[in-house]
Amino acid sequence: MPRANGSTRRQRPLKKTAVLTLHAPTLHFIAVLVTVVAAGVSLLTWYHHREGPGLRGWALALMLGSAGTLLFGLRGPDASFRFILIGDCLFVAGFATMWMSMRRFNDPAMSAELAGMIVAAILIVFVALFTLAWQVAPMARAQSIVFSLFVFILASLAAWETWRGRQLDGLRSRPIAALALAGIAAARLVRAAMVFAQGMGMIEPEVGVVAQDYALYFTTVCILVVTFGLVLMAHERFERQNVISTEARRAIE
């Protein structure tokens, strides 16, 4: 049919931009496997460098995160509130433990008991806000926004703690871990914004699902980079202490 303005050219239908989707079950399996392996690497590094207390905390954080990822992969459309809360609590506890492990790496005098109390307090606040968001706006997925914002804050604190410690010991490998943690924080902030936009009807649910898979993939890569940076930090600190002790022995002799 000709258009009203007299033009006889056919209007081409708009093409939808194809987005490469990730296979969610495979992605979750890889994320769990990677975090478990990274936890083992952290424990092995701690075994060789016992003076680094943050390594054990980092391994614990990775194990909590892998358990949370496993439960997230098992979620169905009819998952109960308790099941979702347990999985998200494992994630939050993992990132809170990451922050505390960086604190203990910078300050070995900080006790594990104090770090555990801080993690428990963070979990209590998270459970309260998560439950409130679930009751107030479940259809808008306000609880998912609360979860993403908590992870964003905790990852940002861990990144800042890692970067701040450079002023204390001057380890050159600290920026690697700090930037990767900042990347995790940025991914969670973008995720919170997309969940909000999806709840307001600004984007399609399919776009949110694809973005969530890519966020998990990006977070998994960043976890590997952070673990690599933390191992480098432990080795670098050990080498410095070894040089200092060697020079001290030579001075005595």
Is domain 24-244 in CATH 2.60.120, yes or no?
A: no
pLDDT < 70: residue spans in the chain: 1-25, 28, 49-54, 138-140, 241-253
Length of the chain: 253
- Separation between Cα atoms, residue 245 and residue 33, nearest integer Å: 39
| Token pair recorded at residue 135 | 């009751």
Looking at residue 243, what is its pLDDT? 66
What is the domain partition of the chain in residue ranges?
24-244
Looking at residue 1, what is its pLDDT? 46
- Separation between Cα atoms, residue 48 and residue 162, nearest integer Å: 21
pTM of this prediction? 0.80
Looking at residue 9, what is its pLDDT? 44
